[in-house]
A and B are shown apart, each in its own frame.
Chain A
Amino acid sequence: MTIKTLTSGVEMRQISKRFDAVQALANVNLELHPGEVHTIAGENGSGKSTLLKILGGVLKPDDGQILVAGEEKEFNSVRDAMRYGVTMVSQELSLVPNLGIAENVFIGHNQSRNKFGIDWKDTDRRALEILKRLNITVDPRREVSTLPQHEQQLVEIARALSFDTRVLLLDEPTSSLAPNEVAALFKVVRQLREDGVAVVLITHRMSEMLEISDRFTVLRDGKFIDTSDRSGVNENWLIDRMVLNKPKESARRNFQSSGRKTVLEVKGLSDRAGAYSDISFEVREGEIVGLAGLAGAGRTELVETLAGVRQRSAGEVFINGNQVGANSRTALKSGIALVPDDRRLKSTIHEMSVRDNLMLSQHKFEITHRSRKSEDKIIKSWIEKFSIKTSGPDAQIKSLSGGNQQKVVIARCLQTNPKILILDEATRGVDLGAKAEIYEILRNLANEGLSILVVSSEIGEIFEISDRILVMHAGELSANLDRSKTSEAEVVAAATGVK
């Protein structure tokens, strides 16, 4: 297989990349052939996205080579990558929302010109041609921000096609799509394959990758594990290679909800910006509730409203029967603490110490002196309790690994003595060891009587940790299931809106 010379393919050799304390990739190889759909499989934090970003020219590798048609090339920028025919459609859409579709397709390159400047008629015509290839019919002058998300994604792909793209990188293109939209996207992917494009795909859904891929490469903890043709691959093959320790059945708790009092009660809550509406549910004392759903279902918006950082238009929230106010300080005081989904953007303060980050939710009259001594005692007890690996309370938070940063954020929340702890994608970007530790911490907390709400896009995680599973779809609560009496299929159906 490897003897075949890659006359028109792309090869990555011995790629390594490190972020602060985390070795994201270590000597990873990847071969791409024209006309194949190649899935990179692996758990969160396995380095898939990093690998794609390096090939797309977004990140520079610390080490390793990239070969195009057998020749080593420098991929120093997105523009470089495009020059060699590699285009990336990223998880975070990179369109200019206030410009039109055609403008976005040709932005920065290949603009049609006439003697007065940009030739808009010709731009529109060429955009329409490409959009037709993707089976969408829209006005090319329409503002991109007015399109639904899956169509925005197609615009990104259209943009990629406006270059002479030979390698198309799709990072989780289906994460926020409904089944019929996924089918439409895959139709496009198959067509591109026939045109001789190499499509690299990252998806979390096993069934999707098995449906469309010709080849698989598995990464785990930033290391290359295995690669194979479609013929040798099934679900077990993938799981064996992706997951080091499969969840143990015995680790699951046996939770009896009867006779437990209700801690959190949400009644008819609606988001002011319309991300979700009329949500009602309860969480009992000592219960772990999983909140499943696709990206964009409104889960993050819901929990951020509970934590008081997002505005509601209707509804009430009660903790132990007492109504909770709508700002973050009162939410914290009443006992709601949130570990948000994006550490870098939403929870850690990057330039601050472990001390400041851990004590951030402790408040007194503003010009009160902070006693280092009494803070040290608290911080050291958390470092010990959660085995946080840090050189000390005054180490910069950014010197810690992702998992340890997350433990600091959880400690910050627990230091406020919450009645309910909410975790949004708490194990995203955390290595497997730390993930297991975080699960263990959560189980122990629940056993001590703390109520916990876990938002996760990983079905496996939801099933491993929850006693009860809530599912959201398109801003509504679509299911409320007992974990022991449901199946992954049922949760996926509720999450994708299949009745």
Chain B
Amino acid sequence: MIRIDCPFCGLRDHSEFSYGGDASINYPPLDAPAEQWHDAVFLRENIRGRQLETWQHTSGCRMWLNVERDTVSHEIFAVWPAHRGYGRVLHAEKENTE
């Protein structure tokens, strides 16, 4: 069982989240050649070890998250909001309560 420490909700079970895909892809500009888009959309490294992923807390706060996870051990090293505005809000609130 994977558990993800959501920055808003706290530690929650994997069943509440949806996997979003590889978070390390830099997508090309909209007018880039089809070959570049093909590579960005379809070619994946299939990493064995630490991987940067996106997850959405679909059954919780619905926030998109960046998650650094080991694909072998499922150990999670870091979780943070994918949207900078959300990250800023939650960081400021944490500072105020500490």
Do the two chains bind?
no
